């Protein structure tokens, strides 16, 4: 039987250790473990990689600790704009949504774009119209209200500053959640979701909903979900770059991921991390920041839930 496995992340570049209390660290790890276990259970029961990554990301979207879904940060206008994407490595089908509001689980809407529309990427009003046609319930703004996020926003409101999630001056945390999985049939999938940047303006879109930049899956190579300085991950087409190195240079998933995160993205000034899995269930989770909220589990009994290096 194929080794099946799952890896998840809750963002790279973490709260500096001084700000991370033992209680808060325990909460982060508990939510990561919950997402990991729920995704892994689907794989264990013979479910698909697509089902597993969607479920894991939903759990992280429902936690106020991560910048996605319920924990999304405030935009310049005091609203929440969310992005998400999902990709099936077996069929290369993919779906992405951007600039959506009021949707509890953006990852599920991106899956519906993949499976119930002729398109790959829907944004803004069109994406919301699509959600309404599928009878999505829209949450009140109060559902997304979080005191920590609101204070974060008030500090830089009405300025030209914006900040990546949890950033404290120079310490940046890039708020994204994601999951990659390999199921018992050797099929792989990836999903990514984010609430964007605090105080972002003009409909800014990062790498998270972009297939090939922040999210990618192909049974020929690997499934990848990224987290980092989105503008650089878009320019570096990071997720696809990892798959390319595997396909054309015969690198392993570990080698290709390390090359991109610890060399190529740094050379253009970007930072962050990614999680990746190949069709044999091998996992890579490199990052070039102080930490990355991450967890992984394989059918061979290996399990990890970590924050710092």
Residues assigned a catalytic role: 176
Using alpha carbons only, what angle is made at residue 292 by residues 187 and 218, rounded to the nearest 5 degrees? 20
Q: Which residues contact 225 (CB under 8 A, 6 or more apart)?
A: 9, 176, 178, 179, 180, 190, 191, 192, 214, 215, 239, 274, 275, 276
CA pseudo-torsion sign 41, 295, 103, 100: negative
Report the C-alpha gap between 305 and 64 in whole angstroms: 18
Unique residue bearing structure tokens 């990618």: 216
How many residues are present in the chain? Answer: 309
Inter-residue contact 101 to 127 (CB < 8 Å): no
CA pseudo-torsion sign 93, 174, 97, 212: negative
**Beta bridge partners of residue 216, listed in sequence order:** 224
Q: Which tokens hold the place of 279? A: 């069709």
CA 62 to chain centre: 13
Inter-residue contact 182 to 277 (CB < 8 Å): yes
Q: Which residues of 122-140 are buried (b: 16+ CB within 10 A; e: fewer)?
A: bbeeebbebbeeeebeebe
**Beta bridge partners of residue 284, listed in sequence order:** 276
Report the C-alpha gap between 110 and 116 in whole angstroms: 10
């Amino acid at each position: 039987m194929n080794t099946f496995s799952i890896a998840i992340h809750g963002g790279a570049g973490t709260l500096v250790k001084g700000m991370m209390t033992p209680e808060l660290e325990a909460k982060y790890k508990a939510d990561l473990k919950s997402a990991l276990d729920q995704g892994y259970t689907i794989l264990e029961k013979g479910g698909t990689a697509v089902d597993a990554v969607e479920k894991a990301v939903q759990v992280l979207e429902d936690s106020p600790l991560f910048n996605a879904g319920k924990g999304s940060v405030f935009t310049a206008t005091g609203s929440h704009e969310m992005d998400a994407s999902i990709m099936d490595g077996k069929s290369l089908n993919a779906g992405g949504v951007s600039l959506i509001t009021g949707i509890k689980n953006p990852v599920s809407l991106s899956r519906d774009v993949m499976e119930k529309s002729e398109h790959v990427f829907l944004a803004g009003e069109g994406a919301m119209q699509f959600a309404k046609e599928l009878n999505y319930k829209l949450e009140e703004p109060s559902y997304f209200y979080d005191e920590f996020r609101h204070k974060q926003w008030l500090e830089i409101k009405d300025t030209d500053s914006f900040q990546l999630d949890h950033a404290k001056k120079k310490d940046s945390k890039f708020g994204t959640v994601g999951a990659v999985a390999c199921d018992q049939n050797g099929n792989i999938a990836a999903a990514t979701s984010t609430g964007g940047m605090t105080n972002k303006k003009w409909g800014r879109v990062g790498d998270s909903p972009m297939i090939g930049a922040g999210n990618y899956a192909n049974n020929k190579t690997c499934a990848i979900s990224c987290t980092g300085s989105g503008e650089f991950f878009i320019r570096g087409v990071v997720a696809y770059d990892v798959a390319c190195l595997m396909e054309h240079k015969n690198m392993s998933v570990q080698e290709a991921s390390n090359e991109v995160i610890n060399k190529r993205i740094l050379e253009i000034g970007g930072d962050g991390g990614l999680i990746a899995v190949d069709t044999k269930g091998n996992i890579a989770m490199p990052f070039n920041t102080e930490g990355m909220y991450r967890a992984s589990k394989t059918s061979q009994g290996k399990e990890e839930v970590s924050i710092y290096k």
